Structure 1
């Protein structure tokens, strides 16, 4: 009986460790996705500004 309960405890500990690792990796993934999203939006703004600077003469007479 003692062996079964200790084996069950070991499995629970291992499972908790796996759940924590999974949770940590998901948090890292969210952080990476947020960083990618921010960089993409900054790149979009920079691209629009450059386009506006290059094409300002088209709209200067309007």
Structure 2
């Protein structure tokens, strides 16, 4: 994944930049996923804590 076999240093550094950019995108996607999961979890906890207010029993 992201292997770079160039002889010139400028191309090698460009490849390193692409790898770090790819890593950054993966980290941002993972952070967004975790934020979404926490949002859903928080909504479920609130619903469970407050369900007795709106229940008929």
The bucket for the TM-score relative to the shorter chain is: 0.7 to 0.9
4+ long deviations beyond 3 Å: none
Cα root mean square deviation, aligned: 1.2
Q: Which structure has the bigger radius of gyration? A: 1
Which fold has the larger relative contact order, with Cα–Cα distance below 8 Å and residues 6 or more apart in sequence? 2
- Counting helix residues as a fraction of each chain, which structure ranks higher? 1
Give the TM-score normalised by the residue count of structure 1. Answer: 0.76
Tell me how many residue pairs correspond in the alignment: 50
Give the TM-score normalised by the residue count of structure 2. Answer: 0.83
Structure 1 unmatched ranges of 5 or more: 1-11
Structure 2 unmatched ranges of 5 or more: 1-6
